[in-house]
């Protein structure tokens, strides 16, 4: 199977600080894969490099074999990369449907002319977009919530709406930054099922940053561990749990207590 995302020796520095050092990560099509690591390990920086918000100083990022290093974020989005944010970043004063419609932006065409004259093509495009947005709302179990302002939705629904917005782009690659942050165990469980369904039903390749070990271990097929910007380990959940470096860097004080601590962080 071909790789959807390949990062080759990606290095990002902020002044003297090396936030990412020669990070190699590969994602197979249809994979669910995680990046873990202590706070400040460079996980979100990696996301920002992939989505074009940062341009890495060295290395290459390939999306479906195409070099996207240094492209602007909106170009990267057009090529089929979507993301969510660690702290939910919806368009708070827009409705849920409008949020999803914004996510659909790369697939719509109308501009000034269409807006003012409302020609047939624009109207059709808008009607289809709206229908699609409603389908997505249903998919993330937010049917009937579409006309609520994003800021008025409960926390869990905001998380799902953010994912719906990301999916509206029909992405090849979905980057989820701590999708279960701030959720209780049952909500977390729901989210895990939901992410699996995304992959199983829609075939989207998913890369997750996650702190909750239980989530990471249960959902990922492959885990990459970052520490101080370096990839210190990579492998299946079972391999990672046994890896000495990981235990040292991440779960330092013994696996059992480390697990508890990590959960508290989430």
Partner 1 sequence: MQNKYTDWKQALRSGLLGGAIIVLLSLIGIVTAFNKTFIITKVLTFGELLLLGPIIVFSFVAIRKAATKSPGFLLLTGAIAGLASGLVLIALVGVGQLINLRAMFVNASDDLYAIYSYNQTLFFGMILRLAVSGLTGLMTAGFFRLPARIKQALGQALLYIIMMGLMSKLIGTVIASWGFVSLLFEWMFARSGLSIVGAVVIFLLVGGLTYWRYGRPKARLVRDPKKQQLVRWGTLGGLGILILLLPSILGMWFSEILDNVGLFILMGLGLNIVVGFAGLLDLGYVAFYAIGAYTIGVLTSPELGFFNMTFWQAFPFAILVAVAAGILLGLPILKMRGDYLAIVTLGFGEIIRLLALSDWLKPWLGGTQGIQRIAKPVIGIGNFSIQLESQQQLYYLILAGIVIVAFIAIRLRDSRLGRTWMALREDEDVAVAMGINHVATKLTAFAMGAIFSGIGGTIFAAKLGSIYPSSFMFLVSINILSLIIVGGMGSIPGVFVGALALMGLPEVLREFAEYRYLFYGAALVAMMLAKPEGLWPEARHKLELHEAEAPPPQESEPAATSA
Strands (E), the chain: 3-14, 17-28, 32-36, 58-63, 66-67, 81-83, 173-177, 205-209, 222-227, 230-235
**Closest approach of partner 1 to the CB of residue 159, in Å:** 15
Residue number, 58 or 125, with CB nearest to partner 1: 125
Q: Comparing C-alpha atoms, which of 103, 89, 10 is closest to residue 50? A: 10
89 binding partner 1? (CB under 8 A): yes
DSSP 85: -
Tokens found for residue 96: 């849920």
Nearer to partner 1, 122 or 220 (CB): 122
CA distance to 69, 98, 182, 257, per residue, from 151 (Å): 34, 13, 16, 37
Using CB under 8 A as the binding rule, the residues of this chain from 21 to 80 that contact partner 1 are: 51, 53, 72-74, 77-78
What are the distances in angstroms from CA 56 to CA 42, 78, 139?
12, 20, 35
**What is the smallest separation between the CB atom of 114 and partner 1, expressed in angstroms?**
7
At 13, give phi and psi (nearest 5°).
Answer: -120, 140
Farthest CA pair distance, the chain:
66
Task: Kindly indicate which of the ranges 21-29, 57-65, 86-94, 176-184 contains the residues binding partner 1, using the contact rule CB under 8 A.
Answer: 86-94
Instruction: For residue 165, state whether it binds partner 1 (rule: CB under 8 A).
Output: yes
Rounded to an integer, what distance in angstroms lies between the CA atom of residue 56 and that of residue 21? Answer: 10
> Applying CB under 8 A, which part among 113-121, 205-213, 219-227, 236-244 lies near partner 1?
113-121
* Rounded least distance, CB 172 to partner 1, Å: 13
Strands (E), 50-162: 58-63, 66-67, 81-83
Nearest approach, Cβ of 253 to partner 1 (angstroms)? 37
Least distance CB 77 / partner 1 (angstroms): 3
Site for partner 1 in 200-239 (CB under 8 A): none
Return the residue of 64, 70, 86, 91 that touches partner 1, per CB under 8 A: 91
Q: Give me the least distance between CB of 75 and partner 1, in Å please.
A: 8
Positions that interact with partner 1 (CB under 8 A):
51, 53, 72-74, 77-78, 82-83, 85, 89, 91-98, 101-103, 105-106, 108, 110-112, 114-116, 118, 122, 125-126, 129-130, 133-134, 137, 144-147, 149, 165, 169
């Amino acid at each position: 199977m071909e790789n959807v995302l390949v990062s080759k020796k990606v290095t990002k520095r902020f002044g003297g600080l090396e936030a990412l050092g020669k990070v190699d990560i590969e994602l197979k099509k249809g994979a669910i894969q995680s990046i873990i690591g202590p706070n400040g390990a460079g996980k979100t920086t990696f996301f920002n490099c992939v989505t074009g918000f940062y341009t890495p100083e060295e290395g290459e990022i390939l999306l479906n074999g195409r070099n996207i290093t240094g492209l602007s974020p909106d170009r990267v989005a057009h090529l089929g990369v979507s993301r969510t944010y660690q702290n939910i970043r919806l368009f708070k004063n827009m409705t849920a449907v409008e949020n999803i419609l914004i996510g659909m932006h790369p697939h719509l065409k109308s501009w000034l002319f269409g807006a003012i004259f409302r020609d047939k093509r624009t109207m059709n495009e808008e009607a289809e977009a709206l229908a699609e947005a409603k389908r997505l709302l249903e998919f993330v179990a937010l049917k009937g919530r579409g006309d609520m302002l994003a800021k008025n939705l409960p926390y869990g629904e905001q998380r799902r709406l953010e994912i719906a917005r990301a999916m509206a782009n029909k992405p090849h690659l979905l980057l989820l930054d701590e999708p279960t942050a701030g959720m209780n165990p049952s909500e977390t469980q729901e989210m895990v099922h939901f992410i699996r369904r995304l992959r199983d039903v829609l075939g989207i390749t998913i890369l997750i940053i996650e702190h909750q070990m239980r989530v990471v271990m249960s959902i990922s097929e492959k885990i990459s561990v970052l520490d101080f910007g370096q990839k210190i380990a990579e492998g299946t959940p079972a391999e990672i749990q046994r890896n000495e470096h990981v235990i040292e860097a991440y779960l330092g004080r013994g696996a059992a207590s480390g697990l508890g601590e990590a959960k508290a962080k989430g």
